A and B are shown apart, each in its own frame.
Chain A
Amino acid sequence: AQSVTQPDIHITVSEGASLELRCNYSYGATPYLFWYVQSPGQGLQLLLKYFSGDTLVQGIKGFEAEFKRSQSSFNLRKPSVHWSDAAEYFCAVGEDTDKLIFGTGTRLQVFP
């Protein structure tokens, strides 16, 4: 069955530190892969997506993610975190269908 796993429920980093949020998926074919960010009380905003091609994808706000087929992973990274990056981050996968499967989210807390 298709599934998405975000192993880290809560991550705390210091401002200026690097960040990596993990996402692993189980899917029959190469899926579409997404990272969304949700600020408190807000809807979700797309950070980046991967469909095909270059496995390193650049997104908004200085985020990037790398698709690793051999590891079934699509981890999100940022070299230097800002306090405004504190939010909930969701990984999502989808095939050529009408539905996305979302992970359970990772809450990022940033300390000054």
Chain B
Amino acid sequence: NAGVTQTPKFHILKIGQSMTLQCTQDMNHNYMYWYRQDPGMGLKLIYYSVGAGITDKGEVPNGYNVSRSTTEDFPLRLELAAPSQTSVYFCATSGVVGEKLFFGSGTQLSVL
């Protein structure tokens, strides 16, 4: 079982460039989340989705956009990348609110 798949695993961006982090799940989960993990800061929720066509902001949404056209995919878009967006990004899913999250293996992004 693939579970939650994130691509790429590593990426380096130049300041001002844009890119999309991909997240795909094969568990038919309705809930999907994007977190960023900064050292000493724990995980912060960027955006989340409760189903196809529905997205909402989390704690730190500025500089990011998401879409959810299918149940399986929840891409995270960075526009005009800034050094402050250097982080490790985790996509996660859950089948039911309050139930455990299934995490992808993360994308390590550096903006230089």
Which residues of A pack against B, CB within 8 Å?
4, 6, 9, 32, 34, 36, 41-46, 49, 51, 90, 94-100, 102-105
Q: What does DSSP make chain B's interface, helix, strand, loop or mixed?
A: strand
Say which one of B11-19, B42-50, B69-77, B78-86 lies at the interface with A: B42-50
Q: Decide if B61 is an interface residue (CB 8 Å cutoff).
A: no
Assembly CA distance A99 to B40 (angstroms): 20
Return chain A residues, CB-CB under 8 Å to B48.
98-99
Can you offer 19 A-B residue contacts whose CB atoms are under 8 A?
A4-B42, A9-B40, A34-B100, A41-B106, A42-B105, A43-B4, A43-B105, A44-B90, A44-B103, A46-B101, A49-B100, A51-B98, A94-B98, A96-B98, A98-B31, A98-B50, A98-B97, A102-B35, A104-B40
Taking a contact as CB atoms under 8 Å apart, the answer to whether B97 and A90 are in contact is: no
Closest-CB distance, B29 to chain A (whole angstroms): 12
